[in-house]
Amino acid sequence: MTATSGHDPAQASEPDAEPGPAPTLAGRTVLVPRGGSRGAAWAHEVEARGGRAVLAPLVEIVGPVDDAPLRSAVAELTGGVFAWVALTSVNAVHALTALDARLGGARVAVVGEETGRAARTAGWQVDLLPERRTAAGLVEAWRDDVGPPPIDGSATGSRRVLLPLSVQAGDTLAAGLVALGWDPVRVDAYDVAPVPPGRAVVDAVAAGEIDAVIVTSGSVARRVAEVFGPLPDGVAIACIGEPSAQAARAAGLRVAVVATRSTGAGTVDALAQHYGPHRDIRTSLTTHDREDPT
């Protein structure tokens, strides 16, 4: 009888398999519906992966009609009135830093990675970042990691949480904090205004010259649906996270990609992964649509 072992000399002599080609956006044209420095940053991510970025701002961030409540809240924040400030977007960070806000001892909670990065750039330590990058996810993390407010009356024992939000933001975060015993103070920190698109971009989308559209927020999702109407078959909608994906679906868009890392790089990586190194865009989207009827 011949003994055998688990070691196979033939297998050992074979070279290691070469890694497959990395996912790429080569040959893809991606619409980035943002302008300014953030739009340029998104375009860089697309072009770094071999794609062609088309910048076509559909929204712009503007201040609230009445900024007196925001200014008052910033003064209170700087004065140590708040125990926490909860930030749900980069725009909220910018709204506070534009008014030279100081934390005054408040701790910082953020919904996502990009917001956290903006907060750290402002010099603020991030104390709470949920695994699930949504307002509901932040409430869950708050319940598990922070708990109810302290009962003493000092500044550090305050129940108050500053929520600088978009005028259009929902009440999920505020309602969740109230249920946990906290006292959220919501202020309108910024608004989102529509920007009319150029005719050339509208024509390019209608002609099927755009392969994918990046969706960075619910307001962008609604504008994409409003401006471009029913998109041609095969256009991939790539969302930065689940909240923007939910808004996109509610607006009638077929979502092809939802990033698990809610950053520009994470979203563009997910889009490249969606296509893979050799997949044909029209075939890939047809398959996806059969699997996801939403």
Q: Is the pLDDT of residue 20 over 70?
A: no
Of 193, 227, 260, the residue at which a domain comes to its end is 193
Extract the tokens encoding 135. 């307002």
Q: Are residues 177 and 209 in the same domain?
A: no
Nearest-angstrom CA–CA distance, 237 and 135 = 22
> Number of folded domains in the chain?
2
Q: Are residues 71 and 189 in the same domain?
A: yes
Segments forming the whole domain that contains residue 175: 63-193
Q: Is the pLDDT of residue 157 over 50?
A: yes
Q: Are residues 73 and 170 in the same domain?
A: yes
Q: Is residue 2 part of a domain?
A: no
The candidate with the shortest Cα–Cα distance to 176, out of 192, 191, 158, 163, is 163
Check if the beta carbon of residue 70 is closer than 8 Å to that of residue 98: no
Query: What are the start-end ranges of the E strands in 40-144?
Result: 52-55, 59-62, 84-87, 107-110
CATH code where residue 45 lies: 3.40.50.10090
Q: Is residue 119 part of a domain?
A: yes
Across 236-262, average pLDDT:
93
Partners of 257 in the beta sheet? 238
Q: How confident is the model at residue 289 (pLDDT cuts 50, 70, 90)?
A: very low
Q: Are residues 162 and 107 in the same domain?
A: yes
Q: Is residue 15 part of a domain?
A: no
Q: Are residues 130 and 91 in the same domain?
A: yes
Extract the tokens encoding 185. 């103070």
Of 130, 160, 193, the residue at which a domain comes to its end is 193
Q: Are residues 233 and 277 in the same domain?
A: yes
pTM: 0.78
Q: Quote the percentage of the chain above a pLDDT of 90.
A: 72
Q: Are residues 147 and 131 in the same domain?
A: yes
More confident residue, 6 or 140: 140
Q: Are residues 225 and 283 in the same domain?
A: yes
When computed from its CA atoms, the radius of gyration of the chain, rounded to whole angstroms, is: 23
Q: Are residues 189 and 243 in the same domain?
A: no
Q: Are residues 114 and 229 in the same domain?
A: no
Residue 24: CB atoms within 10 A of its CB come to 15
* pLDDT value at residue 151: 72
Q: How confident is the model at residue 267 (pLDDT cuts 50, 70, 90)?
A: very high
Across 258-268, average pLDDT:
90
